[in-house]
Amino acid sequence: MGFEKFGRVSFTAQTKVGNFVDYLEKGELAGTKCPKCGRKYFPPRADCSWCPDSTVAWIKIEGTGKLVSFTRVHYGPTGFEDDVPYTLALADFNGVKVFGRLSKDLDEGQTKVGMEVKAVTAFLPGGQLSYELVPV
C-alpha cells in the first residue's frame, strides 16, 4: 500500500517498492541496486532478474540527465484530458534512464534532445506525488 499516491492517475496500489513514494516526498528520486551484481534499476525493482536475487537496496538518482527524446502530447487517455498539452520525455542520467513529464513551463521550441535536466518532486492535486524533469 502507499503506491496509489504515485502519479497523476494511479493504476495500482501494491508493490514491494512502494517506499519510492516516501523518497519522493522527501524530494528524492530513488532507484534500486542489486548488491550481488551491482546493477542499478530505475524504475526501482524489488528483484534482480540477472542474479536472480531479491535483496536490492535503495539508491538515489542524482545529478543531471540528458534528454534522449520527447513529445508534446495533445490527446490524453481517460483521467488526463484536462492536462493536455503536456510533454513526455526520456532522459539518460549516466546510463540510468528516467521516463516522465517535462516541466510545464518549458516551451516546445526551447526543448531540445541532449539538453540537461534534473528530476524534482511534483506535488499534485489530491495529495498525489510524482516527479518531473526540469531544465538545469
Partner 1 sequence: MSRDVAIVGVGQSTFFRNYEGSIRELAFEAFREAIKDAGITPADVGASIICSAPEYDKQRSPSGLMAEYLGLNPQPTFAIETVCSSSTTGIRVGYSLIKAGLHDVVVVLGFQKMSEISSADSQERMGRGADIMWESPFGTMMPAYYAMHARAHFNRYGSTEKDLALIRIKAAKYGQLNDKAVYRKGLELDQVLSAEAVASPLKRFDCCANADGSSCIILASAERAKEISQKPVWIMGLGAATASLTMTGREALDGLNSARLASKQAYEMAGVGPADIDVAEVHDCFTIAELMAYENLGFADPGKGVELIREGETYLEGKIPVNVDGGLLSKGHPIGATGGSQVRTIVLQLRGEAGAMQVPDPEIGLVHNIGGVGIYANVIILGR
Q: List residues binding Zn ion (CB under 5 A).
A: 34, 36-37, 48, 50-51
Q: State the binding string over 103-122 for partner 1 (x if CB under 8 A, else -).
A: -----x----xx--------
The answer to whether 119 touches 97, Cβ cutoff 8 Å, is no
State yes or no: residue 127 binds partner 1 (CB under 8 A).
no
Task: Write out the DSSP string of 45-60.
Answer: -SSBTTTTB---EEEE
| Site membership for partner 1, residue 126 (CB under 8 A) | no
Beta strand 96-102 with 129-135 is parallel
Contact between 45 and 59 under an 8 Å Cβ cutoff? The reply is: no
| DSSP E strand stretches across the chain | 30-33, 40-41, 57-60, 65-73, 86-93, 96-102, 116-123, 129-135
Other CB atoms closer than 10 Å to residue 6's CB: what's the count? 21
Number of residues lying near partner 1 (CB under 8 A): 39
Find the shortest distance in angstroms from Cβ 67 to partner 1.
10
Specify whether the CB–CB gap between 41 and 34 falls below 8 A.
yes
Lay out the site mask for partner 1 across 81-100 (x = CB under 8 A, - = otherwise): --x--x-xxx-----xxxxx
Does residue 12 touch partner 1 according to CB under 8 A?
yes
The interface mask with partner 1, positions 14-33, x = CB under 8 A, is -x------------------
* Residues at the interface with partner 1 (CB under 8 A): 3, 6-12, 15, 42-43, 68-80, 83, 86, 88-90, 96-101, 108, 113-114, 130
